[in-house]
Structure 1
Amino acid sequence: MAESRSLPLFPLRTVLVPGAALDLRIFERRYLDMIRDCGRQGSGFGVCLLVDGDEVGAPATPAAYGTEAVIEDFGTTPDGLLSLRVRGRRRFHAAATRVRDSGLLVADVAWREDLAPSPRLRPEHALLAELLRRILVQVGDVALAGGGDPAPALFEDAAWVGWRLAELLPLDLAQRQRLLQLDDPHERLQRLLDGIAEAAGPG
């Protein structure tokens, strides 16, 4: 049975996938307090796609699946706001949410794990590993793909290849959210392959 815990949520108009980095500017009191508590406890918070409502103001409706964000770095913007660099860690499913007096959303979450930890890439998905290599060369910043220079063995890891492509390909929010909700790394890669083939069209 999956471990369950309470997690503060930060609904955004983005989908954070495991291993991906995200830059945030924090200015609302509820989120400043959340970041302070996370810093004290050494814990993370949940980033969920905003389904209904706005990023600021009244509590919004988040997607049921999201990713735990851990703080890697912080600073201050030129206009005096708190800036954060966070990275996606574990996926979760929010079973129930509640709103604190501050307006902060908190969820009871169950962690989601891939069906097969670090499974080996299947031959039919080798094209995707090569595509990822080319994308990383083009962006010229491997920090976008998890930090540091990727070890060659990672390109044989179905989960790693799938998450990096989900991070770097020009997918819409709905597509990225569907990938986030899949527990099977091979199914995730197949969805990506099918989407690329569909985008390429006939010929």
Structure 2
Amino acid sequence: MTTARLPLFPLNSVLFPGLVLPLNIFEERYRAMMRELLKKPEDGPRRFAVVTIRDGHEVAPSAPGLPDPTAVPEQGPAAGFGTDPLRSFHKVGCVADAATIRERADGTFEVLATGTTRARLLSVDASGPFLTAELEPVLEAPGEEAGTLAEGVLRAFRQYQKRLAGARERSLATGAELPDEPGVVSYLVAAAMMLDTPTKQRLLQAPDTASRLRDELELLRTETAIIRNLPSLPAVELTRGPTHLN
């Protein structure tokens, strides 16, 4: 299988194929990454890999503003990830394509990227100004009954949305119908559900679409039952994710 070497962007969240990722870049190692990506033709892909940091594996201070005012942040591309950065990250991540990279007057960047395909992390190189990684694509089969499962997940997701939003119908995209392609459904629902990071990572790593949809159906039923028993819950806008600070 063909591998590729790409800039590596670790996050405390999970990116899924097809989902938009807004980034606010201020650390020097990631500024250097964006400057390098800007050298690529504007009409071509500006790709980097997003991987999720394992719980408890950000091993050292990497930015100022910590509770201990005497703490000195680490410097360099692997700051905060120890002597073997590969161990600090989940092995399956997502390749992102930066559609917009805007440099501000102060040298920070505003970036809007989109997840494209899953990839497996093989090695990490910290010898340059930012981390790079050797990755191989992770192909995904539909699995058995993916279409039927997707229909069930969409029905369950609509009920989940109603409960979250105080019985007011919400969709993943304002004014648009939810998709019906099983793979797209599985990624959009995984991203939109209010789940912890390890659970989202498990969904990203699912061996096939049908397996992810089965997992989501169980999660949706469980979460909807929990919400139903809560006395009240404020409306939640599922379509807006936070801008990640790095």
**What range is the shorter-chain TM-score in?**
0.7 to 0.9
- Structure with greater proportional strand content: 1
Counterpart-to-counterpart distance in 2, 1:87 and 1:140:
20
Indicate the SS of the match to 1:190: helix
TM-score, normalised via structure 1 length:
0.80
User: For residues 131 and 80 of structure 2, what CA distance do their matches in structure 1 show?
Assistant: 7
Alpha-carbon distance in structure 2 between the residues aligned to 1:76 and 1:101: 21
Using a 3 Å threshold, how does the CA distance of structure 1 residues 55 and 21 change in structure 2: closer, same or farther? farther
| Number of the residue aligned with 2:192 | 168
User: Structure 1 unaligned runs (5+)?
Assistant: none
Q: Which has the larger radius of gyration?
A: 2
Q: For the residues of structure 2 that align with 1:48 and 1:9, how far apart are their CA atoms?
A: 7
Contact 1:59 1:105 in 2 (8 A): no
Write the letter of the residue equivalent to 1:142.
A
- Residue 173 (structure 2) pairs with residue 142 (structure 1): yes
Using a 3 Å threshold, how does the CA distance of structure 1 residues 140 and 180 change in structure 2: closer, same or farther?
Answer: closer
Which of 124, 135, 139 is equivalent to 1:97?
124
CA contact (8 A) 2:146 2:209 kept: no
**After the TM superposition, which of the residue ranges 28-37 and 162-171 deviates more from structure 2?**
28-37
CA contact (8 A) 1:25 1:83 kept: yes
TM-score (norm 2): 0.67
Contact 2:99–2:113 (8 Å) recurs in 1: yes
The one-letter code of the counterpart of 2:217 is L
RMSD: 3.0
**How much does 1:179 deviate?**
0.8
Offset at residue 138 of structure 1 (A): 4.6
**Long gaps (5+) in structure 2:** 64-73, 82-87, 163-167, 230-246
1:167, distance to aligned residue in structure 2 (A): 1.0
**Could you tell me which amino acid in structure 2 is paired with residue 126 of structure 1?**
E
CA distance in 1: counterparts of 2:119 and 2:131, whole angstroms: 15
Tell me the residue number matched to 1:126. Answer: 151
1:81 maps to: 108
Note the alpha carbon deviations across 1:27-80, whole angstroms, 9 max, x for none. Answer: 122211211222323331111111211675515222111101111223356976
Residues 98 and 76 of structure 1, relative CA distance in 2, 3 Å threshold: closer
* Number of aligned residues: 192
Q: What's 1:5 paired with?
A: 4
Q: Percent identity?
A: 24
Corresponding residue for residue 179 of structure 1: 203
Q: What is the aligned partner in structure 2 of residue 49 from structure 1? A: 52
- Give CA deviations for 1:80-118 in whole Å, capped at 9, x if unaligned: 63111111111100111121242x22111001111139x
Distance 1:66 1:173 in 2: 13
Secondary structure at 2:15 match in 1: coil
* Deviates further, 180-189 or 108-117: 108-117
Cα offsets for 1:112-168 (capped at 9, x unmatched)? 111139x9743344221234567498556627xxxx945x7x31x110100000110
